[in-house]
Amino acid sequence: MARILTGIQSTGTPHLGNILGAILPAIELSNTGSNESFLFIADMHSLTQIKNGVELRENTYSVAATWLAFGLDTSKTVFYRQSDVPECAELTWYLSCFFPYQRLTLAHSFKDKSDRLSDVNSGLFSYPMLMAADILLYDANFVPVGKDQLQHIEMTRDVASRINHLYGEELLVLPEPKIQEETQLIVGTDGEKMSKSRNNYINVFEDDKTLKNNINKKIITDATPLEDPKNPESSSVYELYKTVASPQRVLKMSQKLLAGGYGWGHAKKDLLDAIIAKFGDAREKYHYFMNHKNEIDEVLHQGAEKAKAVAQATLGRVREKMGY
Ligand code: ADP
Ligand code: TRP
Any ligand 2 atom below 6 A from CB of 131: yes
213 C-alpha to ligand 2 centroid (Å): 33
Q: What's the order of all strands across the beta sheet hosting 77-81?
A: 77-81, 36-42, 3-9, 142-145, 176-179
Q: Which phi and psi angles does 36 have, rounded to 5°?
A: -95, 130
Q: Which of 117, 131, 155, 174 to mutate for ligand 2's pocket (most ligand atoms within 8 Å of CB)?
A: 131
Give pTM, 2 decimals.
Answer: 0.94
130 and 92 in contact (C-beta within 8 Å)?
Answer: yes
CA of 129 to the centre of ligand 2 (A): 11
- CA within 13 Å, CB half, 160: 27
Mutate to test the pocket of ligand 2, among 5, 39, 45 (most ligand atoms within 8 A of CB): 45
> How many angstroms separate the CA atoms of 24 and 127, rounded?
26
Asked if residue 22 has its Cβ within 6 Å of ligand 2, the reply is no
- Summarised one tens digit per residue, pLDDT across range 243-256 is 999 999 999 999 99
**Measured CA distances, 202 to 94, 191, 223 (Å):** 41, 12, 22
Measured CA distances, 115 to 120, 130, 195 (Å): 9, 21, 17
Q: Are strands 77-81 and 142-145 parallel, antiparallel or unpaired?
A: unpaired
Catalytic status, residue 269: no
Nearest ligand for residue 183 CA: 1
pLDDT of residue 12: 94
Which protein residues are within 6 Å of ligand 1, measured from CB? Answer: 9, 11, 17-18, 21-22, 146, 183-186, 193-197
Q: Which of 76, 196, 252, 321 is catalytic?
A: 196
- Predicted local distance difference test score (pLDDT) of residue 274: 98
**Which atom of ligand 1 is found nearest the CA of 193?**
23
Atom of ligand 2 nearest to the CA of 5: 14
Which pLDDT score, from 0 to 100, does residue 181 have?
67
Which residues face 36 on adjacent strands? Answer: 3
The pLDDT value recorded for residue 298 is 98
Q: How far apart are CA 41 and CA 188, in angstroms?
A: 24
* List of residues 6+ apart from 62 with CB closer than 8 A: 10, 12, 13, 14, 290
3-9 and 36-42 strand pairing: parallel
Q: What is the pLDDT of residue 1?
A: 86
Low-confidence ranges of the chain (pLDDT < 50): none
For the chain, domains (ranges, CATH) are 2-187+293-322 (3.40.50.620), 208-287 (1.10.240.10)
User: Taking CA 21 as the corner, what is the angle to CA 19 and CA 231, rounded to the nearest 5 degrees?
Assistant: 100
Q: At what angle do helices 264-290 and 236-244 cross, to 10 degrees?
A: 50
- Please report the pLDDT score of residue 183 as a whole number: 65
A 10 A CB-CB count for 60 gives 22
